[in-house]
A and B are shown apart, each in its own frame.
Chain A
């Protein structure tokens, strides 16, 4: 190991980043400027940013509009991801607004915080329409360890198998599983759930066991793995260090840090 600093990942694309405040404790980077400072420190070029306040809003459009306004100042760095709740009436019109007015680059779902399941026809309809608009759909398994949730707000994680089945049911969609632990991702192959080709896994909460990244590569393939931070809740250095020291070919590392995300977003790596 060399030195006491974290090797940055120049040009990386962070597909799992939030902007805003978290109701349960202060965060270090709740504003655009503070978030950009964190991204700069890690060498991250582009971040897909979802509204953190929108996790707890029943009707998240107000958070989406605020997010879009905030990130519009740095359109080359922060790309808005809009959170929708298909269990709330009128989401179809909200989706149109997210695509046409708010310039969403992807759609975000929180089935656990918004109290629906991914087999709900409304959720599947939303994913189908997002796919038709060319937008990836990010589904958050969880935001933080359930063992430290607030006493009055214990929210179970979304089963990884539900997300895999959603992707399998809608093969035209690009489904990105975010905030899953290694055990949750591994539950797919250990439980015999097929991993569909249109399912991608973001890695910010993959923090063990030993050899976690290498095992995921072996089972999923590097082409299905994506770099993310889960900022402002999680520490970006965890995945930066894990990928830097993992026994991976450099080409696989580059795919995970950047190329896979750019391809999913319809862009080429420069």
Chain B
């Protein structure tokens, strides 16, 4: 079994069938973050409104209810709307299928406006999935680098962070994460590069690497190749594909949670 902990819905479209079909093909469970909710096409997609992210979460949790064996959800907010974002996160985490907080490119991870959200995640025992990338041509204004995440992780040592995409350029990501035990890395999003997964595991340890695909933008096999193609033991591959993230889910403190079994 596989847990794909980084999946999206198709932008502004209700059809989740292609993702579910891939999940069935590869025997995968999906953790979805809705970043482009149905009904909001044409609106600002990065520095999003309260209504935008509340609708996104409602749609993500509806998928969990429709496919309870297969789907869990991230609660996505714009931390610039701090009060409403905190209320939405509290509300979202009451749902047993909500696994944690997703932050994208509205504000950098180093921004203090994230602090109440990160404290709540520590109290709830749920992870924070933070998008990171280092683009040679320049990031979006609110787009975090691994260094931004590093600042947040140092400020919040009790919060468990997952550095999405390992910073895009993994040399950045692995160096930023390697001495911070509360930072995990997900390997999805970029092209599958030869030898990178082995170097990442060597830098941060296999126990802090988790698997995602970034579907639908990326294909499942291209991301799976980063694990199956790596010169790693079967035990290491199983940890990355399933056990590490399943163990993260077990840390959820709220009763009534429904994490997948380890």
Residues of chain A touching chain B, judged by Cβ–Cβ distance below 8 Å, are 1, 4-6, 25, 27-29, 38, 144-151, 154, 205, 207-213, 231-238, 240-242, 244-245
State which residues 213-228 of B face A: CB under 8 Å: 214-226, 228
Say how far B203's CB is from chain A's closest CB, in angstroms.
14
Given the known interface contacts A27-B195, A236-B229, the answer about A147 and B137 at a Cβ–Cβ threshold of 8 Å is yes
| Interfacial chain B residues near A145, Cβ < 8 Å | 190-191
CB distance from B79 to the nearest CB of A (A): 25
Partner of B136, one of A28, A147, A208: A147
Please state if B136 and A207 are interface contacts (CB–CB under 8 Å): no
Q: Please name all residues of chain B whose beta carbon is closer than 8 Å to the beta carbon of A144 when the two chains form the complex.
A: 191, 193
- Please determine whether B229 and A235 come into contact, CB atoms closer than 8 angstroms: yes
Q: B105 to nearest A CB, angstroms?
A: 14
| Contact indicator B192/A208 (Cβ below 8 Å) | no
Residues of A within 8 A of B212 (CB): none
A242 touching B136, Cβ below 8 Å:
no
Interface residues of B in 1-54 (CB under 8 A from A): 2, 18-19, 22, 25-27
Once the chains are docked, how many angstroms separate the CA of A235 from the CA of B197? Answer: 10
Is B136 a contact of A154 with CB atoms below 8 Å? yes
B194 at the interface (CB under 8 A from A): yes
CB closest chain-B residue, reference A213: B219
**Which of the listed residues A4, A145, A209, A234 has the most CB atoms from chain B within 10 Å of its own CB?**
A4
B229:A6 contact, CB within 8 angstroms: yes
Asked if B168 is an interface residue, CB under 8 A from chain A, the answer is yes
Residues of A within 8 A of B111 (CB): none
Q: Which residues of A contact B220 (CB under 8 A)?
A: 210, 245
Contact indicator per residue, chain B 178-198, by CB within 8 Å of chain A (1) or not (0): 000000000000111111100
How far is it, in angstroms, between the C-alpha of A4 and the C-alpha of B222 when the chains are bound? 15
Nearest chain-B residue to A205 (Cβ)? B191
Say whether A151 contacts B136, CB under 8 Å: yes
Q: A235 — which chain B residues lie within 8 A by C-beta?
A: 192-194, 196, 225-226, 229
Task: Show 16 A/B contacts (Cβ-Cβ < 8 Å), sorted by A.
Answer: A1-B25, A1-B27, A4-B234, A4-B237, A5-B228, A6-B225, A27-B195, A144-B191, A145-B190, A146-B136, A148-B169, A154-B136, A208-B222, A235-B226, A241-B222, A241-B224
State how many angstroms separate the Cβ of B130 from the closest Cβ of chain A: 18
Whether B155 sits at the interface, judged by CB under 8 Å, is no
- CA gap between A238 and B225 in the complex, in Å: 5
Given the known interface contacts A238-B221, A238-B222, the answer about A27 and B18 at a Cβ–Cβ threshold of 8 Å is no
Q: Is the pair B168, A207 in contact by a Cβ cutoff of 8 Å?
A: no
Pair B193/A234 contact, Cβ less than 8 Å: yes
- Are A245 and B221 in touch, CB under 8 angstroms? yes
B-chain residues with CB within 8 Å of residue A212 when the two chains form the complex: 219
Q: B88 within 8 Å of A by Cβ? A: no
B168, B219, B226, B229: the one contacting A208 at CB < 8 Å is: B219
Q: Say whether A236 contacts B218, CB under 8 Å.
A: no
CB distance from B192 to the nearest CB of A (A): 4
B8 to chain A, nearest CB (A): 11
